[in-house]
Amino acid sequence: ALVNHCLSHFESSTLYAKELAKGQHWVITAGPTREPIDPVRYISNHSSGKMGYALASAASKLGANVTIISGPVTLPTPDGCQRVDVESALCMHEQALALAPQADVFIACAAVADYRIAQVADQKIKKTNDEMTINLVKNPDIVADVAKLASKPFTVGFAAETQDVATYAKDKLARKNLDMIAANDVSAEGQGFNSDNNALSVFTSTEQFDISLASKGQVAEQLVSLIVKQNKK
Amino acid sequence: ALVNHCLSHFESSTLYAKELAKGQHWVITAGPTREPIDPVRYISNHSSGKMGYALASAASKLGANVTIISGPVTLPTPDGCQRVDVESALCMHEQALALAPQADVFIACAAVADYRIAQVADQKIKKTNDEMTINLVKNPDIVADVAKLASKPFTVGFAAETQDVATYAKDKLARKNLDMIAANDVSAEGQGFNSDNNALSVFTSTEQFDISLASKGQVAEQLVSLIVKQNKK
């Protein structure tokens, strides 16, 4: 009877996930990037980093060794996590490609700038003209490049969309060779970038899982648990 | 002897400034602005808002009624100050022009975006192309428009420069019809945008005052005191 009890307890969701995640190395990108225009100006986005930090905290609680590659945020580093601070997408790409080959799980939760400024000015640009044009070039695709690695970790992408969420997410999953993608509708009320809550539609190549609206901490626990189990398959 | 003592005490710097500032209405802009590109991306700058908030605190301590028109910052509102939150330069301009006509002193400390995006996208822009161009148009000049008011308050501008600080500052003072300009070299170590310290070169049409490197709180007290005395002239 004692053995049965222990087994059933072991197989209960959290303990089972803990056993699987223990000692794994997870790398999680979080927050926005900043793309410099000149020494004072930049392009960025409304990511607060809360979701990525919640995922790092949840994975760490399961016993994983977590490294956060973090854009500029105002959040404290979760207990037990390592943190590498970066500003630009190019720096985040460099750190991600350096850390991902040794990782078991890679979660690309950062809101990485798709484009950077083609030619960054050394000095503050003077506003001499009534109009101005900024030429942008595409940044490298961090999660796609991680998913191309010979020693590819279980690779999870995010899709923040304002329309046709499922369509864009499933296309991104296939096109970038991801193992999982977590999509949210940032145009919906009460979830997304600066909110404390989130709701996710999670896709693998064969399945869909819906994580309903809850605190980012609770959503993170569910997503991390799902990653652990899918990774084991 | 009592009268003499009181007079000399009254004329000591802080008490004198307090008597002059008491009941005045000061409007201070602070922080960066954010110029939307689409629902998730924006152009901004590295202003922390610390200098503007320190000025608001210092003016409030002298007994002025202070309204901060604030871009997105992570600072608490100083005791006794009113705060109006804005994001874009257009909104800051609107609030400034609404409040300045009744103000005694207007300090433009915000790092306002010189340009905004010509055509803001309703939906998140998809990264379909390898290159992208953002077309920008000039934002209204908030401090210059305040200085054009028939009921112009004592108008103080800031100049954050990375080269030829004094030349640019004095040109800006004259060109925009300001009463005072406070210039700092944001390329110098240990001062400027995200630092806790600052150093200023302050110009009126006839004089120059140097406030040497100190905490933004101390620099703010000196600048506010200088404004009070120059405004009285």
The pLDDT of residue B12: 56
Average pLDDT over every residue of B112-127: 84
**Among A39, A44, A134, whose Cβ lies nearest the Cβ of B162?**
A39
CB contact under 8 A, A42 and B37: no
**b/e map B198-233, b = 16+ CB within 10 Å:** bbbbbbbeeeeeebebbebbbbbbbbbbbbbebbee
Q: How far is A160 from chain B, CA to nearest CA, in Å?
A: 9
Per the model's pLDDT, the better-predicted residue between A13 and B109 turns out to be B109
Q: How far is B11 from chain A, CA to nearest CA, in Å?
A: 41
- What are the residue numbers of the active site of B? 45
**Among B74, B124, B136, whose Cβ lies nearest the Cβ of A162?**
B124
Q: Is the confidence at residue B143, as pLDDT, over 80?
A: yes
* pLDDT tens readout for residues B176-203: 999 999 998 877 777 766 678 899 999 9
- What is the rounded distance in angstroms from the CA atom of residue A219 to the CA atom of residue A185? 14
Q: In chain B, which residues have their Cβ closer than 8 Å to the Cβ of A31?
A: none
**Interface with chain B: mutation pick from A132, A163, A184, highest number of B CBs within 10 Å:** A132
**b/e map A62-76, b = 16+ CB within 10 Å:** bbbbbbbbbbbbebe
* pLDDT tens readout for residues A179-196: 999 998 877 777 766 678
User: Is-catalytic flag, A184?
Assistant: no
% pLDDT > 90, chain B: 70
The sheet carrying A105-108 orders its strands as A82-85, A65-70, A25-30, A105-108, A154-161, A180-185, A197-203, A208-215
The pLDDT of residue A219: 94
Average pLDDT over every residue of B75-101: 97
Those residues whose C-beta lies under 8 Å from the C-beta of residue A2, and which sit 6 or more positions away, are none
Q: Is the confidence at residue B10, as pLDDT, over 70?
A: no
Range from A159-163, B4-8, B69-73 that averages highest in pLDDT: B69-73
Closest CA to B214 of B224, B199, B193: B199
Q: Which helix (H) or strand (E) holds A95?
A: helix A89-99
CB contact under 8 A, A115 and B123: no
Q: Is the model's pTM score more than 0.95?
A: no
CB contact under 8 A, A41 and B44: yes
**Among A136, A162, A187, whose Cβ lies nearest the Cβ of B133?**
A136
The pLDDT of residue A34: 96
% pLDDT > 70, chain B: 93
**Among A131, A135, A160, whose Cβ lies nearest the Cβ of B40?**
A160
* pLDDT tens readout for residues B27-44: 999 999 999 998 889 999
Nearest residue on chain B to A121, alpha-carbon basis? B162
* pLDDT tens readout for residues A9-25: 444 577 778 888 899 99
Average pLDDT over every residue of B78-96: 97
DSSP 8-state code for residue A162: S
CB contact under 8 A, A138 and B123: no
